Amino acid sequence: MKKNIIISSVILFGALCFIFASVLRSDPEKLMINVPRNYDGMYASPEDTIRFPETVSAMKAEGGLLYGYVHGLKKLYRYNQGDHKTDTLFDTQSFLSGILSGFDIDPVSGTFYFLNTNTNRIYIFHPKDSLKDSLYFKSLHFAGGEKCFRSADFFIRATDDATSLTSLKKVDYNRGADTTLYTFTHYADGGISADGFFLKDRSSEKQFFVPYYNAEIIQYDEAGNSISKIITIDKTMPHNNVVPASHGYTISSKSRIINIAAAADSAHLFVLSFASSPGKNEPPGTVIDIYSTITGQYERSMQLPLFEGRRAVLLEKSGDRLYVAFNKDVLCYKIKYR
C-alpha cells in the first residue's frame, strides 16, 4: 500500500511538473502551424508610402488608382500612382450610418457601391453626375459582399431568417432574386462563426470569401459559375466561436483570428496570416502566405517588416504591386522574383 502511494505521488508530481514546465514555456499569443513555410522565390520591395488622414478601413486598387476608405472621417480617398497625389472623392456621411461593410468599384462605368449592413442597402454613387441610388432586398440581410463582374448581381454573405443558415449568394437586386452558391457549416450563432471578408480579382473573374476564424477560403469562379475551396496552411476547421449574450450572440474571447487580410491577382491569393511556423520569428500579421487560385495549393510565403512598430491590417493587389495598409499608412511594394 505504501509503495502504491509513493508511486502514485511520483506520477502526480511528474504530471504536475510537466504541466508547470508547459505553462512556463507557453505563449498564448502565438498561433502555430505545423507546416514549414517556403520563403524562396518571391519578395516585396517597398516603393512608395501613402499617408491617409486616419486609419484606412477598406482599400481597392483599380486602373492605377488606390482608393482608401477612412471610417473615422467617413470619407473615400483616391491616390494617384502617377502624380502621387491624394484627394477626397466622397463624403459618405450623408448616406452611410454605422460601419461600412465594403465598397466596390465598376471601372467601366466608374460607379461606386457602398455596402451598409445597418440599413441593409447597397448605395450606388457616380462621381461624374453624383447620381445616388440604393439597392434593397427586404428579405435578405447581407453581411458584406462584392459586385459581380458579368452582371449587375452581387456576391454576398447572408443569413436566412427562417432557417438561420448562413450562405454565400448571388443576388439580383433588380429582380429581387437570389441563388445560393455555398452554405456554411451551421451553428446557432446568427452567422458570426462564418464571419470574414470579401475580395476579388478582375482579370480572372474570381471572387473570394476569406473567413477570419478558420482555414476554409471560398473561391467563386464567376466565368465557370463554380465554387471551390482553398484551405490555408493552418488547417483550422470551421467551429462555433460565439457565446450567448444578452441580445443574441457575441464572439467568444477564446476565438482566434487566423486570416487578417487578403488580396488576389490572376493566379494567386495573398493571405495575411496570424499563424507562425515552427522555428521562425514570425510575429502575427507579418507573414503573407501565397496560394495558387488554380490548384488551391499553398506555394510560398513572404514576410513584411513591421512599419513604425505596427503590423499590416489590409492588403490590395494591382498588377505587380502589393498595397499594404498599416493603419493610416499604406506601403506600396513591388513584387519581385528571385
Partner 1 sequence: MKRNTIITILSYSLSILFVYAASAKAMVYTDFMADIAKSPLLVNYNNAILAPGILGLEFLTVILLQFKATLKLGFYLSCFLMLMFTLYLGTLYFFYTNIPCSCGGVLGRMPYPVHIIFNLLFTILAFSGAFLCSKPVAAPATA
Binding of partner 1 at residue 186 (CB under 8 A)?
no
Q: How far is the CB of 6 from partner 1 (least distance, A)?
A: 11
Nearer of residues 204 and 232 to partner 1, judged by Cβ: 232
Binding of partner 1 at residue 245 (CB under 8 A)?
no
Selected range binding partner 1 among 32-40, 119-127, 143-151, 300-308, rule: CB under 8 A: 32-40
Binding of partner 1 at residue 189 (CB under 8 A)?
no
- Sheet containing 314-318: give its strands across: 42-51, 329-337, 321-326, 314-318
Contacting residue, 15, 99, 131, 223, with partner 1 by CB under 8 A: 15
CB hemisphere CA count around 159 (13 angstroms): 15
Give the SS3 label for residue 119: coil
Contacting residue, 6, 32, 294, 306, with partner 1 by CB under 8 A: 32
Give the SS3 label for residue 189: coil
User: CA-CA-CA-CA torsion for 116, 119, 124, 125, nearest 10 degrees?
Assistant: -80
Q: How far is the CB of 167 from partner 1 (least distance, A)?
A: 24
Helix or strand run (H / E) with residue 15: helix 2-25
Nearer of residues 4 and 130 to partner 1, judged by Cβ: 4
Whole-angstrom distance, CA of residue 270 vs CA of residue 322: 9
Contacting residue, 82, 83, 246, 253, with partner 1 by CB under 8 A: 253
Count CB-CB contacts under 10 A for residue 7.
10
Interface mask (CB under 8 A) for partner 1, residues 63-92, using x and -?
------------------------------
Q: How far is the CB of 120 from partner 1 (least distance, A)?
A: 33
Selected range binding partner 1 among 98-106, 109-117, 228-236, 281-289, rule: CB under 8 A: 228-236
Q: What is the DSSP letter of 151?
A: S
* Cβ contact 201:221 at 8 Å: no
Contacting residue, 9, 34, 94, 295, with partner 1 by CB under 8 A: 34
Contacting residue, 28, 82, 85, 247, with partner 1 by CB under 8 A: 28
User: Which residues, other chains included, contact 211 with Cβ-Cβ below 8 Å and sequence gap of 6+?
Assistant: 194, 195, 196, 217, 238, 258, 259
Nearer of residues 42 and 242 to partner 1, judged by Cβ: 242
User: Which residues, other chains included, contact 307 with Cβ-Cβ below 8 Å and sequence gap of 6+?
Assistant: 324, 326, 329, 331
Q: How far is the CB of 249 from partner 1 (least distance, A)?
A: 17
Residue 102, Cα to own-chain centre: how many angstroms?
Answer: 11
Instruction: Report CA torsion sign: 46, 48, 49, 55.
Output: negative
Whole-angstrom distance, CA of residue 271 vs CA of residue 249: 28
Nearer of residues 243 and 313 to partner 1, judged by Cβ: 243
Contacting residue, 78, 256, 300, 328, with partner 1 by CB under 8 A: 256
Contacting residue, 85, 150, 247, 254, with partner 1 by CB under 8 A: 254
Binding of partner 1 at residue 19 (CB under 8 A)?
yes
Binding of partner 1 at residue 108 (CB under 8 A)?
no
Q: How far is the CB of 188 from partner 1 (least distance, A)?
A: 15
Q: How far is the CB of 7 from partner 1 (least distance, A)?
A: 6
- Between the CA of residue 333 and those of 47, 83, 88, 91, what are the distances in Å? 5, 17, 23, 28
For partner 1, the binding residues (CB under 8 A) are: 1, 3-4, 7-8, 11-12, 14-16, 18-19, 22-23, 25-28, 30-34, 234-237, 253-254, 256, 278
